[in-house]
Amino acid sequence: MALIVQKYGGTSVGDADRIKNVARRVAESRAGGHQIVVVVSAMSGVTDSLIALAKKVADTPPEREMDVLLATGEQTTIALMAMALHAIGVPAVSLTGAQAGIVTDGVHTKAKIKNITPKETHRLLDAGNVVIVAGFQGQTPAGQITTLGRGGSDLTAIALAAALQADLCQIYTDVEGVYTADPRIVPSARKLDEIAYDEMLELAGSGAKVMQLRSVEIAKKFGVVFEVRSSMSNQPGTIVKEETRSMEDIVVRGVALDKNQAKLTLVGVPDRPGIAARTFRALAEAAISVDVIVQNVSHAAAAPLTDLSFTVDKPDLAKARLVIEGLKADIGFQEVTSDESICKLSIVGVGMRSHVGVAARMFETLAAEGVNIGMISTSEIKVSVVIDIAQGDRALRAVHSAFLG
Ligand code: ASP
Ligand code: MG
């Protein structure tokens, strides 16, 4: 007998029929003699419409009340799921995050899980129940309802799997697994059988949104092996785990395109110590996250000036510009320019550590496509380039076919 944690995302529980479909699948897993814990998201669209509703009654709703509101999304799903299981003769009990012993810090709308006391869950499982836990929520030690940030149901599932020492953690979603590229852009993309945590993290950071980033970090930290698979089919999905030797044989595991970036350039910045520090400190204080940074060589040895470019998330562009304009008197750059028509193309693979010529091959492929590279950044297992957004899809296909066929 195994203890299995299964997480079903918003689309998988998007309407009554889909909830019944999940109930049948859970019943089948249980019929295999296993103990099943089910973590569910809010039905698709519910969290978004609750947020929209809140914005209609108040410009800046208090975050404590946002959490009280948003937690109802998942609470709806757990009750419906338990009912659907009862209806087909499977004993099931729903638990809110608090009832499942999920204790968080007090940072409303993006709380961190501090600990989980799985006693009640174990007791209910041992009594023969399927236990249904609301994703995305917990409570502070003082009993305040909190939520874990968008996509937080993934985190609930991974953290519960760790706390329960589950034998298996399955993340059911509306795709068959993790792909070598977004199949909507690259028709020849393939589902991966396995991927290393670090590759998954780099791909997620590069715009491939299969799962919440933080939940993959937590899985890595606690060594939770999990499978991403579809709730609509019975195909095996993608196993996400610590890297193994054999994973290094594959140079590039996947490619990704992030169209949600914009570029800012400070033109004619004095090239002396402290300028970059002040610039990026100011951005950090405005909670703007910066991705690729490039500083050019400077000219004119007497009073050297340089250009400093970096990318931010597109929705942060206006705010970032304001922050930078505010530094003008202090830093004394000539002007700031911005460009929204860019995207970031990345190739990711742990095999890059032990293979040479990977970047060269990527750049040759782009050159052959007539794609100009604006910025480059690398990590041990990733090469990213910033290019024109109009060429993004074509460049992604070319690079995918160069490395992954
Ligand atoms: N319902 C929450 C959201 O939409 C959490 C989740 O679905 O994982 O972000
Ligand atoms: Mg989700």
Residue 155 CA: nearest ligand 1 atom is 8
- The response to whether residue 135 sits with its C-beta less than 6 Å from ligand 1 reads yes
Q: Which amino acid is at 308?
A: L
Give the span between the Cα atoms of 164 and 50, in whole angstroms: 31
Q: How far apart are CA 267 and CA 306, in angstroms?
A: 7
Binding site membership of 254 for ligand 1 (Cβ less than 6 Å): no
Which pLDDT does position 298 carry in this prediction? 78
From ligand 1's centre to the CA of 3, what distance in Å? 24
**Token pair in block for residue 27:** 């019943």
Specify the residue with its C-alpha closest to ligand 1, atom 4: 47
Protein residue with its CA nearest to atom 6 in ligand 1: 151
Distance 153 CA to ligand 1 centre (A): 6
150 C-alpha to ligand 1 centroid (Å): 5
Q: Hey, how many other C-beta atoms are within 10 angstroms of the C-beta on 358?
A: 20
Beta strands per DSSP E along 85-225: 92-95, 102-104, 113-116, 130-134, 137-139, 145-147, 168-173, 194-196
**pLDDT tens sequence for the chain (405 residues):** 899 999 999 999 999 999 999 999 999 999 999 999 999 999 999 999 999 999 999 999 999 999 999 999 999 999 999 999 999 999 999 999 999 999 999 999 999 999 999 999 999 999 999 999 999 999 999 999 999 999 999 999 999 999 999 999 999 998 999 999 999 999 999 999 999 999 999 998 888 888 899 999 999 999 999 999 999 999 999 999 999 999 999 999 999 999 999 999 999 999 889 999 999 999 999 999 999 999 988 777 777 899 999 999 999 999 999 999 999 999 999 999 999 999 999 999 999 999 999 999 999 999 999 999 999 999 999 999 999 999 999 999 999 999 999
Name residue, tokens 């949104």. 209
Structure tokens at 180: 């070598």
Q: Is 310 in the pocket of ligand 1 (CB under 6 A)?
A: no
Give yes or no for a contact between 172 and 12, defined as CB atoms under 8 angstroms apart.
Answer: yes
Taking the CA of residue 41 as reference, the ligand 1 atom at the shortest distance is 7
Residue 73 Cβ contacting ligand 1 at under 6 Å: yes
Question: Does the Cβ of 148 fall within 6 Å of ligand 1?
Answer: no
Burial class (CB in 10 A: 0-12, 13-18, 19+), 54: middle
For residues 153 and 112, the answer to whether their CB atoms sit within 8 Å is no
Q: Amino acid identity of 229?
A: R
- Nearest ligand to residue 50 Cα: 1
The pLDDT of residue 302 is 74
Instruction: Please provide the distance, in angstroms rounded to a whole number, between the alpha carbons at the two ends of the chain.
Output: 41
Ligand 1 in reach of 152 Cβ (< 6 A):
yes
Nearest to 98 by CA among 68, 131, 138, 70: 138
> Does the CB atom of residue 97 touch ligand 1 within 6 A?
no
> What's the gap in Å between 403 CA and the centre of ligand 2?
30
Token digits of residue 214: 């933080």
Residue identifier of the C-alpha nearest atom 9 of ligand 1: 150
Q: What's the 43 CA to ligand 1 centre distance in angstroms?
A: 9
Note whether 222 and 164 are within 8 A (CB).
no
| d(CA 173, ligand 2 centre) in Å | 8
> 């196993």: which residue's tokens?
239
CA 156 to ligand 1: nearest atom = 8
**Total length of the chain:** 405
Neighbours of 242 (CB within 10 A): 12
Give the number of the atom of ligand 1 that is nearest the alpha carbon of residue 9. Answer: 7
> In a 10 Å sphere around its CB, with 0-12 CB exposed, 13-18 middle and 19+ buried, how is residue 263 labelled?
buried
Q: How far is ligand 1, taken at its centre, from the CA of residue 226, in Å?
A: 19
Shortest-distance Cα residue to atom 1 of ligand 1 = 42
What's the gap in Å between 148 CA and the centre of ligand 1? Answer: 9
Q: How far apart, in whole angstroms, are the C-alpha atoms of residue 212 and residue 149? A: 9
pLDDT of 169: 98
